[in-house]
């Protein structure tokens, strides 16, 4: 066998090129692993996401500790986050079969939410980022509620209209890019949709959080039994409040109905009240969301937030989007309420865009607007 001088290094070189080629190919499909941490309200959530794949996640909730107060007590929530953070992180890593060494970046909710609760997650994320030398990204909780759908239905390839319905927020958004470009079209001028569910549930003597209880009871009730108001849907509201919502009048109407029934000595028909109230909320939410898709000529709707778990809202939206030729994306119920997967999902998109990490001095912002997707300071 005759090997001219230099041929050996040629062969070695070709082998190396092949290895690099293979690595590059793997690189193109193997995206960074992002750890997401959520602690803005009463759920401590930690998850690991690669691209749009959920590798593992864990949620610990302090909801039981708030039930007797009828709402989240910030101090109780913060303490519970502190206790749950490390075990939740360990469970998420175990489920994903990864260690901190496998994590490429850390994303954490830095707002909006309860300041004390946010601080626990952000402090944990900073400590992990510093100790393991990973980039840190403070991300927006509201944008994360929308981004989580990508774990189920793949990336948003085009502009979307998003309906965000949670305990603290009710907003209609135009999402041109989930990591860099979200415009607030409108939102509630008083109570959030979830807040309305919780307050009405309380009026009806149901436990906190009320949404799931109303959802369940409404299935046995008649949605047409009581004609509750649908605020800001009339012709006179079209100009100023087309994309806005108002639920406090509806809550008062339910309260008046309950008082009237009790004064007349009649027993409350809880399923009928629940169904009629729920229909009023979901009718308005779905009507305005579909109207926004048609108006902006964006035939794609995604919904997010705890109230997106509501059965009647899903039904209304499925019917109305199908009739209008709008593609509908609804995340699975388990990912609608607060969790770490939503934060990791948004973090993965932010990392993919090559955006600059947040500083280690990152502050929390309880009122962070939805258009601030990555925290800068």
Give residues with Cβ within 8 angstroms of 165, minimum separation 6: 192, 193, 194, 285, 303, 304, 305, 306, 307, 308, 313
Q: How far apart are CA 160 and CA 173, in angstroms?
A: 8
Q: How far apart are CA 241 and CA 187, in angstroms?
A: 9
CB nearer to ligand KG4: pick between 51 and 168: 168
Length of the chain: 377
Residue 41 within binding range of ligand KG4, rule CB under 6 A: yes
Beta-bridged to residue 49, according to DSSP, are 34, 54
CB nearer to ligand KG4: pick between 103 and 277: 277
Size of the site for ligand KG4 (CB under 6 A): 19
Which of 164, 152, 123, 96 lies closest to 338, judged by CA? 164
Q: Phi/psi at 342 (nearest 5 deg)?
A: -65, -35
| Shortest spacing between CB 231 and ligand KG4, in angstroms | 18
| Shortest spacing between CB 25 and ligand KG4, in angstroms | 39
Stretch near ligand KG4 under the rule CB under 6 A, chosen from 56-64, 77-85, 97-105, 305-313: 305-313
Q: Dump strand ranges (E) for the chain.
A: 33-38, 43-50, 53-61, 105-111, 136-140, 160-165, 170-177, 181-187, 300-304, 327-329
Residue 338 within binding range of Zn ion, rule CB under 5 A: yes
Among 77, 124, 285, 309, binds ligand KG4 (CB under 6 A): 309
CB nearer to ligand KG4: pick between 112 and 135: 112
| Shortest spacing between CB 198 and Zn ion, in angstroms | 13
- Encoding tokens for residue 142? 């509201």
Q: Which does 112 bind (CB under 5 to 8 A by kind): ligand KG4, Zn ion, none?
A: none
CB nearer to Zn ion: pick between 273 and 368: 368
| Shortest spacing between CB 188 and ligand KG4, in angstroms | 12
> Using CB atoms within 10 A of its CB, is residue 368 exposed (0-12), middle (13-18) or buried (19+)?
buried
- Encoding tokens for residue 107? 């994303």
Q: Which does 33 bind (CB under 5 to 8 A by kind): Zn ion, ligand KG4, none?
A: none
Q: Which does 233 bind (CB under 5 to 8 A by kind): Zn ion, ligand KG4, none?
A: none
- Encoding tokens for residue 178? 């989930």
Q: How far apart are CA 333 and CA 329, in angstroms?
A: 12
Q: How far apart are CA 242 and CA 263, in angstroms?
A: 37
Locate tokens 């993965």: which residue?
348
CB nearer to ligand KG4: pick between 105 and 302: 302
CB nearer to Zn ion: pick between 269 and 366: 366
Residue 111 within binding range of ligand KG4, rule CB under 6 A: no
Among 62, 88, 140, 166, binds Zn ion (CB under 5 A): 166
Residues from 325 through 354 that contact ligand KG4 (CB under 6 A): 337-338
Collapsed DSSP state (helix, strand, coil) of residue 248: helix
Q: Which H or E run contains 132?
A: helix 115-132
Of the chain, the end-to-end C-alpha distance in Å amounts to 66
CB nearer to Zn ion: pick between 166 and 278: 166
Among 306, 331, 347, 357, binds ligand KG4 (CB under 6 A): 306
CB nearer to ligand KG4: pick between 50 and 316: 316
Q: Which H or E run contains 295?
A: helix 270-295
| Shortest spacing between CB 169 and Zn ion, in angstroms | 7
Among 194, 223, 347, 357, binds ligand KG4 (CB under 6 A): 194
Residue 167 within binding range of ligand KG4, rule CB under 6 A: yes
Residue 210 within binding range of ligand KG4, rule CB under 6 A: yes
Among 310, 316, 350, 375, binds ligand KG4 (CB under 6 A): 310
CB 118 within 8 A of CB 338: no
Residue 198 within binding range of ligand KG4, rule CB under 6 A: yes
Contacting positions for Zn ion (CB under 5 A): 166, 338
Contacting positions for ligand KG4 (CB under 6 A): 41, 166-168, 194, 197-198, 209-212, 215, 305-307, 309-310, 337-338
């Amino acid at each position: 066998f005759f090997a001219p001088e230099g041929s050996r290094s040629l062969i070695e070189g070709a082998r190396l090129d092949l290895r690099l080629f293979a690595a590059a190919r793997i690189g193109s499909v193997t995206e960074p692993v992002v750890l997401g941490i959520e602690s803005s309200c009463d759920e401590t959530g930690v998850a690991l996401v690669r691209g749009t794949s959920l590798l593992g996640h864990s949620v610990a909730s302090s909801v039981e500790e708030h039930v007797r107060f009828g709402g989240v007590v910030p101090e109780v929530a913060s303490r519970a986050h502190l206790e749950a953070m490390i075990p939740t992180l360990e469970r998420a890593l175990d489920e994903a079969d990864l260690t901190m060494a496998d994590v490429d970046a850390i994303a954490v909710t830095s707002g909006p939410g309860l300041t004390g609760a946010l601080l626990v997650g952000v402090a944990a994320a900073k400590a992990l980022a510093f100790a393991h030398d990973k980039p840190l990204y403070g991300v927006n909780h509201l944008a994360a509620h929308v981004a989580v759908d990508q774990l189920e239905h793949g990336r948003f390839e085009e502009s979307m209209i998003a309906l965000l319905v949670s305990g603290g927020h009710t907003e209609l958004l135009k999402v041109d890019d989930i990591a860099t470009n979200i415009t607030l079209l409108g939102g509630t001028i008083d109570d959030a949709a979830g807040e309305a569910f919780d307050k009405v549930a309380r009026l009806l003597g149901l436990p906190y959080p009320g949404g799931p209880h109303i959802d369940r009871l409404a299935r046995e009730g008649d949605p047409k039994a009581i004609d509750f108001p649908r605020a800001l849907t009339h012709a006179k509201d079209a100009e100023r409040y087309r994309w806005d919502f108002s639920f406090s009048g509806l809550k008062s109407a339910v309260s008046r109905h309950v008082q009237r029934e009790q004064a007349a000595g009649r027993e409350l028909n809880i399923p009928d009240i629940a169904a009629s109230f729920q229909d009023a909320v979901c009718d308005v939410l779905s009507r305005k969301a579909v109207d926004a898709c048609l108006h902006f000529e964006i035939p794609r709707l995604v919904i997010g937030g705890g109230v997106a778990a509501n059965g009647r809202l899903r039904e209304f939206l499925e019917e109305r989007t199908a009739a209008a030729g709008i593609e509908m994306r609804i995340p699975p119920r388990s990912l609608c309420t607060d969790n770490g997967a939503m934060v990791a999902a948004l973090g993965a998109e932010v990392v993919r865009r090559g955006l600059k990490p947040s500083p280690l001095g990152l502050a929390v912002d309880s009122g962070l607007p939805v258009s601030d997707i990555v925290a800068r300071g």
